[in-house]
Amino acid sequence: SVLKIEGVPVLFAIYFLTFLAFSLFYASLPVYASTQLGWSAVNLGAFLAYFSLLMVVVQGPILSRLSKRFQSIQLVIGGACSLTIGFLLLVQGNLLLMYLAVTFMAFGNGIMWASFLSMLSKAGRSSQQGAIQGYGSSMGSMANMLGLVIGGILFQSIGILTFGLAAIIFLI
């Protein structure tokens, strides 16, 4: 019955694809960083800490300001475009471009995900919200599981082009 609610199937598809693309990133980045970039665990940890710090800033003061000026759908689209740029920059392998990439990714994810969850919370009646949110979380968990496995396989097969594939997913 949840899938019959107008707009919910599309929102679930976005939920699934977002988690899938990020899972490709999380499965591939550590291998890429250590084997091709020569990063240590400390370098990778610093990189991911920078990413997390930016997410805090974006989801706090930046999103607060942007959400007053733009609709959720505009923020989702803008965030997806920023994520696409970020994932494409990862392919370059240059340290400066890697940090620029993760900056675009943090901005994109920060404005996209919160705005998307806002849209999802407005789908259906209030009595349906538990089911909508529950199924959405299930979509994310399934995509996460598949993405981690597929990400490892893809990275072993096509290398850094895995990040390009994730970019295409966000573009979709």
State how far the Cα of 16 lies from the Cα of 30, in Å rounded to an integer: 22
Residue 51: per-residue pLDDT: 95
Residue 158: per-residue pLDDT: 92
pLDDT above 70 coverage of the chain, percent: 100
pLDDT, the chain, mean? 91
Residue 153: per-residue pLDDT: 93
101-121 tens-digit pLDDT: 999 999 999 999 889 988 888
Q: Output the pTM of the full model.
A: 0.88
Residue 17: per-residue pLDDT: 92
> Which residue blocks in the chain are alpha helix, DSSP H?
8-35, 41-57, 63-69, 72-90, 95-121, 129-158, 161-171
Residue 120: per-residue pLDDT: 87
Contact 164, 151 (CB under 8 A): no
Longest dimension (CA), the chain: 52
Residue 7: per-residue pLDDT: 85
49-93 tens-digit pLDDT: 999 999 999 999 999 999 999 999 999 999 999 999 999 998 887
